Amino acid sequence: MALSINEVKAGVTVLVDDQVWVVIDTDHVKPGKGAAFVRAKMRNMKNNSVQERTFRGDEKVDQAFVEERKLQYQYNSAHMYHFMDQETFEEIAIPEDSLGEKTKFLKDNIEVSGYFYKNESLNVNLPNSVIFKIIHTEPGIKGDTAKGSFKQAEIETGATVQVPLFINEGDNIKVDTRTGEYVERVSQ
């Protein structure tokens, strides 16, 4: 469906140059001289690159109907990550390069949101925070309570996270998957 440029707003998904973009922000400009135009800031749903684009007032943009599905991570093999659709129970394989840094926080059976356009996977969103078990870290020194002191810790997925000195092997911690930062220690 073609949208007039006035219908392009934040959150709308559009098809530009055969790629799916989600509009982040728009600025409708009506100069004193000349035709009105819209400056749109958009994020590519496949590779997360951000681009600013200007559209003339008489242009039309195709709307992209993106489907969101609940997926559950199963396993990875040969640079492919396998998920199960929570409704249809079909297996969906997504290439490692389209997941990027998110693979560091994929834990068995974690539920994620998958975005699809014409049955082609675009992107996967992890929960904002996930609880992981520390499998290796250097022991903390008793009495060392300096604020802002951190050490490296390896979590169960193999990723390393900066944690406070009081965190030990076997502890469970909450990690912000958007930034990769330690949030808090969790008792389970």
Last residue of a domain, one of 125, 146, 170: 125
CATH classification at residue 39: 2.30.30.30
The yes-or-no verdict on residue 146 having pLDDT over 70 is: no
Give the structural domain span for 37. 2-63
CATH classification at residue 146: 2.40.50.140
Same domain, 73 and 92: yes
Identify the band that residue 126 occupies on the pLDDT scale cut at 50, 70 and 90: very high
Q: In sequence order, which residues have a C-beta less than 8 Å from that of residue 173 and are 6 or more positions away?
A: 131, 132, 134, 153, 155, 161, 163, 167, 182, 183, 184, 185, 186
As for how many domains the chain has, the answer is 3
The yes-or-no verdict on residue 145 having pLDDT over 70 is: no
Span 76-123, pLDDT tens digits: 988 899 999 999 999 999 888 888 888 899 999 999 999 999 988 888
The predicted model scores a pTM of 0.77
